[in-house]
Amino acid sequence: MTLTKRIIPCIDVDLDDDGNAAVYTGVNFENLEYSGDPVEMAKKYNEVGADEFVFLDITASAEGRETMLDTVSAVADECFIPLTVGGGIRTKADIKETLRAGADKVSINSGAIENPELIAEGADAFGSQCIVISVDARRRFDDEGDHYVEIEREDGETEECWFECTVKGGREGTGMDVVTWAKEAEERGAGELFVNSIDADGTKDGYDIPLTKAVCDAVSTPVIASSGCGGPEDMEEVFVEAGADAGLAASIFHFDEYGIDEVKRYLDEHGVPVRL
């Protein structure tokens, strides 16, 4: 049986000047602009056929605060598809509280890199299907990586790069190779890997195919591709060329450039299995 590919809208949530939760959209993890209300967006995507929904508190880790669980609960009340929540999750207790607030899965980045044992602790306590390890990756062109891929430059020439894990919303590098970390996360019990590209984020130029393929080729755990989606053609490419199990997008859905059903019809017509 061929597993269907999942189409997942994502909201990046932060606190506005009045301390209220709001959705923001940016480019390369910067220049964030207000995009809407998280609860209203959850309701919308629940109604239009999204397969899952992702809620990321984008400044919780950097600011050292807890995830906004009241907003998570309000979102969960409107969301009857699988809900993944990330941002500021550092302990087993954080995982428990987030799941109790209504999340079906938790996405962990900085907390897992700082304490890799958290992956196994979470998987043992709540099931590996609840533990999604998120990677905010950026390209590096030096000799400090473990796994190198060939990429094409704008001038048509090729060069090699590796991908570095970053933490705190892409603000800090770790020196860790993404592929090496993906393998370790899988071995420790991660049920899914969520691969974000800082270089492609918000560009709408397509997913980072070399990055996504490198991770997909290295692990058997399902991989969610994120960052850079500009339309259904990009979804098709990341599924067919890179082998991703799910495609995540934000702005193309938030601003009604494409509808979930429109993307799914395109993929179905091009032979990509999706749930219509």
Separation between Cα atoms, residue 171 and residue 116, nearest integer Å: 20
3-state DSSP call for residue 109? coil
36 burial via Cβ count (<10 Å: 0-12, 13-18, 19+):
middle
Q: Which residue has the tokens 């059903």?
A: 261
**DSSP type of residue 189:** T
Annotated active-site residue in 37, 136, 177, 199? 136
3-state DSSP call for residue 208? coil
> Are 51 and 8 within 8 A, CB to CB?
yes
Tokens of 255: 């601003």
What residue ranges in 39-156 does DSSP mark as E strands? 53-57, 83-86, 105-108, 131-140, 149-152
> Are 245 and 193 within 8 A, CB to CB?
no
Tell me if residue 12 is catalytic: yes
The H or E element spanning position 174 is: strand 172-177
Active-site amino acid positions = 12, 136
